[in-house]
Structure 1
Amino acid sequence: MPAALTLENVFLTLNSHAGPVEILKGVSFSAKPGEAIGIIGPSGSGKTSLLMVASGLEAATKGKVEAAGIDLTGKSESALAQFRRDKIGIIFQSFHLIPTMTALENVAVPLEFKGVGDAFDRAAAALKRVGLGHRLEHYPSQLSGGEQQRVAIARAVAAGAQILLADEPTGNLDQETGSAIIELLFELKDKEKATLLLVTHDRALAKRCGRILEVRDGLVKESKH
């Protein structure tokens, strides 16, 4: 079975006022379809950058990234945007909802961009799956933090993403709400048979995944549970 995601000897160097900074330094790993991988490591180690490269939001300086059967090397910005739209669901610590759109519109509009004819019906169904069927017409400011993150998860899975990338998805939530969000994320990941990369500072949470990768000083190694 082909891998859902493969990074081969990936380097990422970004420019700063102090000069070039090497963020990733020869990262290699692969993820199987449907697999969950916890990504841990200290702040500034390159965890978020790893997700950025895997999603095509940052281009690797060197090396190969292949996701959902697509080689991202040398792809144009428009091709990468289409790849993310069709194949990737991203869930951030801050929810990245559009404040002037309702929960329904926040989920439906990306589907419309994808050309889905029944975008609003699919968005409503996705919101019902995350327990927000009664909140479709509410704006982000009218929703709690946990509800906003549920909208973000509905948006990520509504288009049938093959790969889910979650960057500290409970970082802005209290412990009880965060636990509920994690349960929901794993439940939807299993139903969608999606591959999940979960960045977290919580090793206990990382242990819920089948594997743990530890990022330290731009390098990645397998970590024992």
Structure 2
Amino acid sequence: MSDVRLTLPSRAGPVEILRGVDLNVNAGEAMGLVGPSGSGKTTLLMVMAGLEAVTSGAVTIATNDLTVLKEDDLAAFRRDNVGIVFQAFHLIPTMTALENVAVPLEFKGARNAFARARTQLERVRLGHRLDHYPGQLSGGEQQRVAIARALAAGARILLADEPTGNLDQETGAQIVDLLFGLQREENATLVLVTHDPSLANRCSRVIHMADGRIQQERHNSLASEPA
């Protein structure tokens, strides 16, 4: 990201959400984004995913300039490269766990979509829940489905927005271990938005945001390994 700015209109006048963000994220890196509510963390994550268009500046991922891609091209880029894990899971309620994970594979045109989806669910220890709907799963199980879905199509970039925010402490810890374990196995790039300092410290680098700007950057040489 180079001098990324995002200004949105409001009845009270223009609101600056991002104010000149410069940021490089290395392939295979785990980076945490922390800061108070309203600091721009989630917006920055959405910009990385190509889900939020910037007002000015450059957003480049592996030579792809997201700011010049059309909507269809952005969707194709996300399909092939980006997996997103949300706090609220965002599973399709009328689809089983297996069908939810198969969706990005089917969009990608994979002939073996359901076999690959099954494999991903087995990786997150949900092989016994393939035919269950989201409403029949616990919060932790739903988040495991969401993680499996994020990685199913071979995403090299994993974006997680408060992935433990709707979970109890014990379940959240299990999800964190799973998330970092899979990130390491896949050698994927992980960008994690969190309010939890202990979770951020699992990352090798922590970015502190406030008022739409990066205020501090800290490298964490003691980042803990997944359990």
User: Contact (CA 8 Å) 1:164, 1:196: kept in 2 or not?
Assistant: yes
Q: Which residue, out of 176, 181, 195, partners 1:182?
A: 176
Q: Deviations over 1:141-160 (max 9, x none)?
A: 00000000000000001111
Q: Which residue, out of 39, 42, 46, partners 1:52? A: 46
Alpha-carbon separation, structure 2, partners of 1:66 and 1:186? 24
| SS at structure 2 position matched to 1:116 | coil
Is 1:165 equivalent to 2:159 in the alignment?
yes
Matched, 1:119 2:131: no
TM-score, normalised to structure 2's length? 0.94
1:169 to partner: Cα distance: 0.2
Tell me if structure 2 keeps the 8 A contact 1:54–1:65: yes
Aligned 8 A contact 1:68 1:162 in 2 = no
CA distance in 2, matches of 1:93, 1:16: 26
Tell me the CA shift for residue 221 of structure 1: 3.4
Deviation by residue 1:20-67 (Cα, 9 ceiling, x = unmatched): 211000001111111000100000110000001010000111000012
AA aligned opposite 2:70: S
- 1:154 maps to which of 148, 154, 174: 148
Aligned to 1:138: 132
Work out the CA distance in 2 between the residues paired with 1:110 and 1:177. Answer: 26
List per-residue Cα deviations over 1:86-115 (Å, max 9, x = no partner). 100000000000000000000102210111
The equivalences for 1:1-225 within 5 A come to 7-224=1-218
Query: Which has the larger displacement, 167-176 or 59-68?
Result: 59-68
Query: Percent identity at matched positions?
Result: 66
Moved more, 72-81 or 119-128: 72-81
Q: Single out whichever of 180-189 and 8-17 deviates more from structure 2.
A: 8-17
1:129-181 C-alpha deviation (Å, 9 max, x unpaired): 00000000000000000000000000001111111000000000000000000
Unmatched runs of 5 consecutive residues or more in structure 2: 221-227
Conservation of the 8 A alpha-carbon contact between 2:28 and 2:190: yes
> Aligned residue for 2:223?
none
Equivalenced residues, count: 219
Rounded to whole Å, the distance in 2 between the matches of 1:168 and 1:215 is: 15
Displacement of 1:223 after TM fit? Answer: 3.3
User: 2:213 corresponds to which letter in structure 1?
Assistant: L
Structure 1 unaligned blocks of 5 or more: 1-6
For the 8 Å contact 1:12–1:61, the answer to whether it is kept is yes
Q: Is the 8 A contact 2:209 2:216 kept in 1?
A: no
Give the distance between the partners of 1:131 and 1:97, measured in 2 at CA: 17
